[in-house]
Amino acid sequence: MSELANAAAGRELSYAQAIQEAIAIAMEEDSRVFIMGEDIGVYGGAFQVTGDLVHRFGAERVIDTPIAELGGAGVAVGAALTGMKPIYEFQFSDFATLAMEQIVNQAAKLRFMLGGNVSVPLVMRFPAGSGTGAAAQHSQSLEAWLGHVPGLKVLQPSTPHDAKGMLLAAIDDPDPVMIFEHKILYKMKGLVPEGRYTVPIGKAAVVREGRDLTIVASAIMVHKALTAAEELARDGIDVEVVDLRTIRPMDRETIIASVMKTGRLVCVYEGVKTLGVGAEIAAMIAESEAFDYLDAPIVRLGGAESPIPYNPELEKAVVPQVPDILAAVRSLHKRER
């Protein structure tokens, strides 16, 4: 079904439903695909993403694991090496810290260390980000950590459409793919085509055209940027919004072209500002032909130098919000080189 036909049909799914549908499609198509993680079986997952998959595919393919992320990740890596196609769900992205040995030293490096004679067709899914009152150990945005590791692909879909299409592309990929799913997006609804389709890994999307300034964002920050852009338009500031979608490999061409068009850049991301995704984007522009097109300095709008607080008002204060984006854009729009 084309996107136009799908829009006419008005088929909407939530972000969580889109992910579940992608998993079901992959499992129906290929008996090598299975999913594992804590509470993903009868309970349906901490965020109800896996739902009734255990009833549809059985406990041998929808595997509840112990609270032992290092061991679970090791099983997933080993299964991938033997030709299976595991999808490993971390209950919270923060728990990846317990499995970094398997992610960083094994999954990411085995193809290289064994001379290209093996592949690790592994997908890991990470419910990430703040906004649920889950405090410092359950609310982090760690995508930049894994984006630093050669051998991994790192994705951050922002819509139900992309969540389904990028997950199917990840399952098809012969190398390990890490998908960060912002927890606040799970209930968001959007148009999702039926059946199989893929969204290419490594390709950003211009989700709003503009002429005055570029905002590059990912995950939930895309929606905050779009909200800000609509308000800024009423002030006569025409903002272009680029949805990064993939942290690694990053789409240099789309970002550079947008900055050359608008002459101004704001990077908006939830992870801590220092050494974050926005730093890489800023360096990319500084080292590219787009640098000579800048009419003002690049602005990075990232998370504060703080663990995520439990208090809801403090939690909002340490990550960029729409008013922060408005203030940054208005200030930058006034500045000249």
60 in catalytic set: no
Handedness of CA 27, 30, 36, 42 (dihedral sign): positive
138 in catalytic set: yes
The C-alpha angle 151, 153, 159, rounded to 5 degrees, equals 175
209 by Cβ neighbours in 10 Å (0-12 / 13-18 / 19+) ranks as exposed
Do 158 and 222 touch, CB atoms closer than 8 A? yes
Pair type for strands 205-208 and 213-217: unpaired
In 3D, which of 160, 169, 189 has the Cα closest to residue 25?
Answer: 169
Q: Could you say which of 69, 240, 280, 315 is catalytic?
A: 69
Task: Please report how many Cα atoms fall inside a 13 Å half-sphere around the Cα of residue 249, on the Cβ side.
Answer: 10
Q: Could you say which of 138, 161, 182, 223 is catalytic?
A: 138
State the Cα–Cα distance between residues 191 and 324, nearest whole angstrom.
29
The C-alpha angle 315, 321, 327, rounded to 5 degrees, equals 135
State the Cα–Cα distance between residues 169 and 166, nearest whole angstrom.
5
* Cis peptide upstream of residue 307 (ω within 30 degrees of 0): no
Q: Which residues are catalytic?
A: 69, 138
